[in-house]
Amino acid sequence: MSDTGELARRHIVLGLSGGVACYKAADLARELVKAGATVQVVMTEAACRFITPVTMQALSGRPVFTNQWDAREGNNMAHINLTREADAVVVAPASADFIAQLAQGRADELLSLLCLARPAQAVPLLVAPAMNREMWAHPATQRNVAQIRADGAFVLGPAAGDQACGEIGDGRMLEADELRDELIAHFQPKVLAGRTLLVTAGPTFEALDPVRGITNLSSGKMGFAIARAAAEAGASVTLVAGPVHQPTPRGVRRIDVSSAEQMLAAVLPEAKVHEVFVATAAVADWRPAEVAAQKMKKDASRDGAGRVPAIAFVENPDILATVARLPAAERPFCVGFAAESHDIVRHAREKLARKGVPLIVANDGPATFGRDDNTLVLVDAQGERALPPGDKLTLARALVAEIAARAPRRPA
């Protein structure tokens, strides 16, 4: 068992039922182990037709259980012992037949037996369906899925896309990294359940001509981490992103923009329908006053005296300040970021007043751009408080907890 990683000190029972997606379960076992979990694999007889227990033992580092009559357990009660230490049971893939067994409370095999025998309040059951689209769409399957949900199971996916049978549609099992992230999210406290959060992230790009522009080194990592942490905490999240190379966190609605003006146009209507607005984007303060319709040619762009072109700037809208000035009924709880290179707290305090927001998060800009770790200081009317240093996701989770405690609920 590992002390580090997102799933450190978690013990996961990974169940495989029969399906081609068993090959993804091998990857999932690896991902869970890499994230710090201990993984106990349990396979049905059908699963063993698709992938061998040898592979799963090698990847999980533990002998696999396949049989309810397995005599290795001292009391011969594998179905009880296996779940007593578990933090979760994850069945991936879950076949249509296996879901039907769960729905009926059957206990024909070790895996269905242990799902039934687990202490349901303490050990959640997460189920990743994998089947042909017709099987998934069948009313019997849909009925069974609704039943296991009602019984407390968490259903992860399925995704839509190409299927092993050659058809295209709903029923594909989520990928291993998606399932790992779902499991990580499952363990996060739901401090923003039922709430809405809007976040801006990344740089803006202010065009000079069709191929050139002015931008900055913001990677978007902090804003994306906040979007992910808020979604993990149960919020419905909208992320307005400048040009960045970051994958969209699961469950987050993303709107891509380029310039500050586009970002403002995307943010304003959304801000009015979200309870919280977190502005992490490194918005360009100025944009070129004129955008050339065609690429500026090196020689043709010189003036009469042969001088290279000078760029005139105009000021960009301040997105955060604009949202903070919305009428109270439309205004979300606003959180600004201040990336400074010196006098971090003093500048943050000035910004608090200038932007008219209740909370500014200060960080060391040049030291944080593109990095995975960061330090954050929360500055508000009461004072300032540093969050313990950590990676951006850990900090984002801490910040989300702070926001959850401060942001008033908006009347429906």
Report in angstroms the alpha-carbon separations of 49 from 16, 23, 129: 11, 11, 18
On whether the CB atoms of residues 37 and 59 are closer than 8 A, the answer is no
403 binds ligand C5P (CB under 6 A): no
Which of 279, 376, 400, 403 touches ligand C5P by CB under 6 A? 279
Strand partners, 286: 315
Q: Is the Cβ of residue 30 or residue 272 nearer to ligand C5P in the bound state?
A: 272
**Which CB atom, from 40 or from 363, has the smaller least distance to ligand C5P?**
363
Region label for 166, one of left (φ > 0), alpha (ψ between -120 and 50) or beta (otherwise): left
Kind plus residue range of the DSSP H or E element containing 55: helix 53-60
CA dihedral 296, 302, 308, 309 (to 10 degrees): -60
Catalytic residue among 22, 48, 115, 165: 165
**Residue 17 vs 316, nearer CB to ligand C5P:** 316
For the CB of residue 390, give the shortest distance to ligand C5P in the complex, in Å. 20
Contact map string, positions 350 to 379, toward ligand C5P, x by CB under 6 A: -x----------------------------
User: What is the Cα–Cα distance from 263 to 243, expressed in whole angstroms?
Assistant: 11
User: 3-state DSSP helix/strand/coil percent for the chain, to nearest 5?
Assistant: 35, 25, 40
Given 99, 191, 283, 376, the residue binding ligand C5P (CB under 6 A): 283
Shortest Å distance, C-beta 318 to ligand C5P:
4
Single out the segment in contact with ligand C5P by CB under 6 A; choices: 24-32, 241-249, 298-306, 314-322.
Answer: 314-322
Residue 268, token pair as written in the block = 């304003």
Instruction: Pick the binder of ligand C5P from 6, 318, 380, 402 (CB under 6 A).
Output: 318
Query: Count residues contacting ligand C5P (CB under 6 A)?
Result: 14
Q: Assess 320 for contact with ligand C5P (CB under 6 A).
A: yes
Residue whose C-alpha is closest to residue 361's, from 341, 343, 344: 344
Report in angstroms how near the CB of residue 288 gets to ligand C5P at its nearest: 15
Q: Is there a catalytic annotation at residue 22?
A: no
Residues 6+ apart with CB under 8 A from 320: 277, 279, 334, 336, 355, 357
Site string for ligand C5P, 194-223 (x = CB under 6 A): ------x-----------------------
Q: Does 226 bind ligand C5P (CB under 6 A)?
A: no
Q: Of 15, 157, 242, 336, which one interacts with ligand C5P (CB under 6 A)?
A: 336
289 burial class (0-12, 13-18, 19+ CB within 10 angstroms)? Answer: exposed
Instruction: Tell me whether residue 339 or residue 393 sits nearer to ligand C5P (CB atom).
Output: 339
Q: What are phi and psi of 72, to 5 degrees?
A: -65, -30
C-beta separation of 202 from 244 below 8 A: yes
Site string for ligand C5P, 161-200 (x = CB under 6 A): ---------------------------------------x
Question: Active-site residue numbers?
Answer: 165
Interface contacts to ligand C5P, rule CB under 6 A: 200, 260, 279-281, 283, 316, 318-320, 336-338, 351
